[in-house]
Amino acid sequence: SLRQNSEVLTVTAEGYGKRTEAGEYRIQTRGGKGLINLKVTDKTGDVIGLRVVHPDQELMLITEDGIVIRTTISDIRNTGRNASGVKLITTNEGDKVASMAVLDQKD
């Protein structure tokens, strides 16, 4: 849900990710042509997931080779809607990010 302080988290197959304020995405109407969310290149790879997040949550990334990392959402740099993002996980050659999960932090 898009509450106040909501952000959109985008993660790519090559391990890049970014947080963007939800307000940067305008509402589309009938006949809308869409919005650019991320500059997809060979360096970033395809988008594998997009979630509405809040800074106090955590992100878990899992690669095809079974490597798992966990980080807080607030540690991911907040960037503009059309940016390619920052490196979240360094994958081995031939490995790609397969899955992402957003978790609420435990006290």
Contact 93, 64 (CB under 8 A): no
- Is 2 a domain residue? no
- Please give the chain's pLDDT, 107 residues, in tens: 466 668 889 999 999 999 888 777 777 788 888 777 788 888 888 999 999 998 889 999 999 999 999 999 988 888 877 777 888 998 889 999 999 999 987 65
Residue listed under structure tokens 């988008």: 47
In 3D, which of 25, 10, 12 has the Cα closest to residue 77?
A: 10
Residue 1 lies in a domain: no
Range of the domain at 34: 7-104
> Residues 26-37: pLDDT tens digits?
777 888 887 777
Q: Is residue 89 part of a domain?
A: yes
Number of domains, the chain: 1
Per-residue confidence (pLDDT) for residue 107, from 0 to 100: 54
Answer yes or no: is 100 within a domain: yes
**Both structure tokens of 32:** 């809308």
Q: Is residue 66 part of a domain?
A: yes
Report pLDDT for 101: 94
Domain assignment present for residue 32? The answer is: yes
3-class secondary structure for 57-74? EEEEEEECCCCEEEEEHH
